[in-house]
Amino acid sequence: MVEAPNYYAIIPANVRYDRDLPGKAILLYGEITALCNQKGFCWASDSYFMKLYGVAKSTIQAWLKSLEIKGYISRESVYKDGTKEIDHRYIRVIPGGIPKNRNTPIPKNRTDNITSINKNHSGAEEKKNPIHYKEIIDFLNEKAGRGFKNAEGNQKLIRARIHEGYSEHDFALVIVFKCKQWLGDSKMEQYLRPGTLFGSSKKFDQYLDEAKQSRKQKGKTPEQPGLSVGEGSARVADYMAELEKKYEAGELSE
């Protein structure tokens, strides 16, 4: 079991106020800086962070990937000789957040086994683990009664969320939950489309969390604040309308 660090966490302003970071990714960044202060790198496993924050492994992976995509951290894995089993993982804070301690490099005899995770070159990974774009879009069409195409614009949104660590099952949860919530609502039904459901990492994470919380209610269907009636619904509708304009104009990116 990894001991909790006895060092201060440092969260610079650019990370602290980054609205694109999902969930508690900002707090996770602070925990990583505390561990880096001890040895120059963070060695903690996903299990350590899972116990610390009380969330699933997929959530930790999503937070880590969001920090990596924004350039706040880097990750390296050292594999056991002749296998694909990870022996050690190293997380480092990228300069610009807090300085890295360069006095504790990875042992020289391990460097040949290091594979850096680089999301800018994911073609080979997608060939090994293909994303089922058509199935996701068809599922949305089925549940929402729509006719969206398996086009590159929609694929790009799905791919962005997958690369952040979300699973195809997460897409299904969001689609089912939002269809139950918005179908029949004259103001919100129009937003059952890829651009609003999948177009923002922050909103997708929020929708997924709402869906999971709803499942925990075991049949109870409490009204979701800000998403159904009154002033809250209007506020969300305005946000969705703005997001849709950006999506249709091609301004949304990975």
**pLDDT tens, 195-238?**
999 988 888 989 988 988 888 775 544 433 333 323 344 554 55
**pLDDT in the model for residue 250:** 53
| Domains, the chain | 13-117 (1.10.10.10), 126-248 (no CATH)
CB atoms within 10 A of CB 31: 20
CB atoms within 10 A of CB 116: 8
Question: Do 88 and 78 meet the contact criterion of CB atoms below 8 Å apart?
Answer: yes
The pTM of the full predicted model, rounded to 2 decimals, is: 0.44
Mean pLDDT of the chain, nearest integer: 74
CA–CA gap between residue 47 and residue 29 (Å, rounded): 16
| Predicted confidence (pLDDT) per residue in 75-108, tens digit | 887 777 777 777 778 898 886 544 444 343 434 4
Q: Write out the H or E segment, with its range, that includes residue 73.
A: strand 73-79
